[in-house]
Chains A and B, each alone.
Chain A
Amino acid sequence: MIELKDVHKAFGSKHVLRGINLTIESGTSMVIIGGSGTGKSVALKCILGLIKPDSGMISLDGKDVTKGDRDAFLARFGMLFQGGALFDSLPVWQNVAFRLLRGSLKRPVAEAREIAIEKLRRVGLKPDVADLFPSELSGGMQKRVGLARAIAAEPEIIFFDEPTTGLDPIMAGVINELIREIVTEMGATAMTITHDMTSVRAIADNIAMLHDGVIKWTGPVSRIDNSGDPYLDQFIHGRAEGPIEAVR
């Protein structure tokens, strides 16, 4: 279980997180929604320790994430970055198998390559993509390679930062199904940031709406259409009028 308690983060005079409280139960899929620049990615990076919160507490299974063996902590996570964040200097299969080629999860090269090709197939890419370099792929293909890398070591917890942005609707559907599969079959905990409401309905068990640095609403996906929350209503229906200012 991941727990955020009163987490604050400011960049200079800009207060991005103003006291976030959120709980993500193990084996569930939490989707965080909210306008651009509301701090969704910052919250996610705070959990991973990529950004240090100014105050508050973040715990994983009751233990403070800032304490203990950092490598062991990170080995439990997989992350899909917004732009893919693939390593330009490595071919696709080495990107996917990065974790399997070094460190505590190291495997023989042939086995790591085999796993990488299997994960590529799982995200809808053919084996001949394995030896290409990221610069030779389209944006959507890069995203799928990023997803294959996130799941390569079969982590317990996976973060997805805008997993379907830049993908065509069919491929977005495939990725949504895959994320759902990872949660149900692998029993992984997923935390996803997305603006795509089709994805939200497809992959979420629970939803949290982030606005103005705090969680405005959280609850199961089944309740989003009758939440009674004006922020959530405006967001999911994409209305220009409402409590969320359209110009930020």
Chain B
Amino acid sequence: MNLTLGFLAAIGRHVLSWLASIGRIALFAVDTISHLLRPPFYAREFSHALMQIGWLSLPVVGMTALFTGGALALQIYAGGSRFNAETVVPSIVAIGLTRELGPVLGGLMVAARVASSIAAEIGTMKVTEQIDALTTLSTNPMKYLTLPRVLAATLAVPVLVGVGDVLGIMGGFLVGVGRLDFSAATYLHNTMDFLETWDVVSGLIKGAAFGFIVALMGCYHGMNSGRGAQGVGRATKAAVVAASVLILASNYLLTELFFSA
């Protein structure tokens, strides 16, 4: 009996702690957004974050999209040939990439690269009292550190997703034409004919949501980092895990919102 109660109590404690974390993250997000409406704004911090999050993530996101597009073309061709439907390769590659794989894989790659680096940077600033120093220098850390990063990621990730879409489709095109004997004109024709504006726009909206999540998780876990190297390590790991899980969960919710009949 005691064992059962102990087990239930442990579950209860975890659920309560999890709910408290959700509440804290929600308040952190609201606080971040509220700074958008209140000056001062740190343009230099924002442009630096834009460079770090956007421009420097381009190679990893681009390569991921290129290879995913190629692999997707091979898989769809192999599956489609069972039903004599090989001609759907270009359209499914394009739709699959723009609606789902482009934003999700792009978001996950940015989460791995950016959430970890933001959490480690801010976490180290916290344990070395740099965050306290900012406050004593009359500079709000949320305004100076969090808002520029969250805003930059929210604006940069959709652009990365857009570039990833183009490169992914190009990966499919190269495999389709080079390995699967599609003519270049037919491949492009089938891609453009079946692709709708909403397919691309919905992916870009997802990209913005994922960018917001990635930077928010990096900043939140960095700001709440424990002491010492171990604390920063834990914060970094928590930021990447939380960002990845939230990207996948919000992807489902957004897909349900955009495409459910």
Contacts and interface: CB of A to CB of B under 8 A. Distances in A.
A83 B125 CA distance: 12
Contact of B129 (A71, A78, A85, A102): A85
Contacts, number: 49
Interface in A6-49: 45, 48-49
B135 to A, nearest CB: 6
Interface in B109-154: 124-125, 128-130, 132-139
B199 to A, nearest CB: 40
Chain A: number of interface residues, binned into ranges = 20 to 34
6 contacts: A75-B138, A79-B136, A83-B128, A85-B133, A87-B125, A103-B139
Interface in B198-237: none
A85 B134 CA distance: 9
Query: Which of B134, B137, B139 has the largest number of chain A CB atoms within 10 A?
Result: B137
A102 B129 CA distance: 20
A74 B132 contact: no
Contact of B132 (A45, A103, A104, A149): A45
A86 interface: yes
B130 A86 contact: yes
A85 B132 contact: yes
B130 A85 contact: yes
Contacts of A50: 132, 135-136
Interface of A: 45, 48-50, 71, 74-75, 77-79, 81-83, 85-88, 98-99, 102-104, 149
Contacts of B59: none
Given A102-B40, A103-B40, A87 B130 contact: yes
B132 A99 contact: no
Interface in B136-179: 136-139
Contacts of B125: 87-88
B40 A85 contact: no
B129 A104 contact: no
